A and B are shown apart, each in its own frame.
Chain A
C-alpha cells in the first residue's frame, strides 16, 4: 500500500470513528432497531471509504455521509424482506411515563413509510432544511414539503389514537428487538 493510502486510511478512520455514533443514532431513528442501525452504519461507512478520496475533498463530508446512510436505509427498505411488524399488547410495558412516550414515538415513527420517515428524521433530528433534505433524498422541494406534512400528520394521528386508547384501555406496542 502506498504511503498516501495509509495517510488517507488514517484520516478516514478518524473521521469514521468520530461520526459513527451520530450515524448510528440516525440509523436507529430510521430503522427502529439497533441491529439494523449497526448494519446500516456499517454499510454507510464502507461506502464512505470506497469514495473517501473524493469525499475528503468535499466541503461537507458529513452531508455526504448522511446521504449515504439514508440511501442505505431506503435501499434496505426496498428489499421486500424487511417489513414493519405491527403487533399489539394489552399489558402496559412499564409504568414509567417517559418510557411510554419514547415507545409511543418509536412506534409511530416505525409506522411511517420509509421515505416519509427519512424526511421527518432528516428535518427534525438532523435539523436539515427543505433544500438539504431534498438533496439528501434526491427529490424535489415539493416532495419534501408534502412528505414532511404527511409524516407529521401521521405522527399526530398515531399518537392521538394511542392516547385515545390509553384513556379507554391500556394498549402498548411490543418493544423492538424482535425484528430483524
Chain B
C-alpha cells in the first residue's frame, strides 16, 4: 500500500494490490476457525445423511442440553476439555439449534436483550443488531492514542438454558476460563485464548450469570490492556439484562406479495447516538422478495450522507427520498430486472410510498415496523 488510492489510477493491478493489503492488514484478530470442530460437525452431518438415505427416522432436533459445570472463581486456569466444549457426542450444533425464548415478532423485528449502563468516556455511540439467533447491544468508542481501531463493546445474552462453556462457544480459540471477580454477586469468568492472560487488546470476553440465570457475554475489542479488566467489570456491573422493543423511525405499511424474512423473520440493525441531535446513526431493515434482498435504510439527512447514499448504488437499484429530516432509501441487491412483484407496486419508487417516516425525534418512533 503506497498511500491513498488515486482514482485515476484505480486500474486492475492497483485494485489487486489494494485488496491484498486490506486482506493482510495487521488488525486481524486471532483466527477462530477450528478445523477439528469442522471435522466433527461434518461427521455428524455425514451420519445424518447416511441415516436419511437408509430410511431411518430423521434425527429429532432437540434443544441444546447443558450439563457441565463451570470452574468457579479461585480455580486454576483450565482449558475447557474438547469433549465438554463441543458437546459429548454430536459436536458443535450451531446457533440455529438454540431455542430462543419465543420467535421474533415480525411487527417488531428488533428486540434488545441487554442494555449498556456505564461506558468508558468516549464510548457514547450505541446500537443494536439482531440476527435470527442473537441480539446484540453494541457500543463504539474512540480509538486509543496510536491505535488504529475504535474501542468496541458488544453485549449478548445467551438464551435461557444455554451455557456458553458447554455449547454455543463459537470461539474455540477462547478455550481457557480464568476466574473473574463476581459481577453483582454472581459468578463470572474471562474466556481467553491465553491461559496466562485474561484480557488482550484484540479481543476480550467476560461472561457472567444474570439474575435470571442467563449467561451474559461482554466482548471488547481494541481496548488497551492497562485498566481493561476494571473497565469491563464496571461495564458488566452496570449492564441491564431485560427484553425490550427497540423503536425505530420508519415503518412499512405494505409489502410486495411474496416478501419473506426466511425462518427468522425480518432483519434490522440500528445505531443510535446518545446525542439525539447528532446525525451519527442509521437504521437498516432487510427482507427478501423472490430471491432479491431488499433493504430499507434511514439516516439523518446531511449533505454528505445524502450524496453518498444516492451515489453508492446504481439508480435502478436504489430509490431515495428525504422526509422529515431523514434520508430514506430502498435498495435491492440482485440482477437488474426487478421481480414482478416489485414491479407491480411501482418498483422501489412505488414501494417507497408505503414507507412511513416518523422523523428525528425518538419520542415519535414506533415498534410496529411491518404490516
Contact = CB atoms under 8 A, between A and B. Distances in A.
Whether chains A and B associate is yes
Given A125-B16, A161-B307, A39 B170 contact: yes
Contact of B38 (A25, A29, A45, A113): A45
Q: Helix, strand, loop or mixed for chain B's interface?
A: mixed
A50 B4 contact: no
A124 B317 contact: no
B5 A93 contact: no
Interface string A144-156: 0000001010111
Nearest to B281: A87
A134 interface: no
A102 B312 contact: no
A171 B304 contact: yes
A101 B1 contact: yes
Given A80-B287, A83-B284, A143-B335, A180 B136 contact: yes
Contacts, number: 235
Contacts of B367: none
Interface in B116-172: 125, 127, 129-132, 134, 136, 138, 140, 143, 148-150, 152, 154, 170
Interface of B: 1-5, 7, 10, 12, 15-16, 18-25, 28-29, 31-39, 41-43, 45-46, 125, 127, 129-132, 134, 136, 138, 140, 143, 148-150, 152, 154, 170, 221-222, 261-262, 264-269, 271, 279-282, 284-288, 291, 293, 295, 297, 299, 302, 304-305, 307-309, 311-314, 317, 331, 333-335
Interface of A: 9, 12-13, 16-17, 20-21, 24-26, 28-29, 34-35, 38-39, 41-42, 45-50, 52, 77-89, 93-94, 96-102, 104-106, 109, 111, 113-115, 120-121, 124-125, 127, 143, 150, 152, 154-161, 163, 165, 169, 171, 174-180
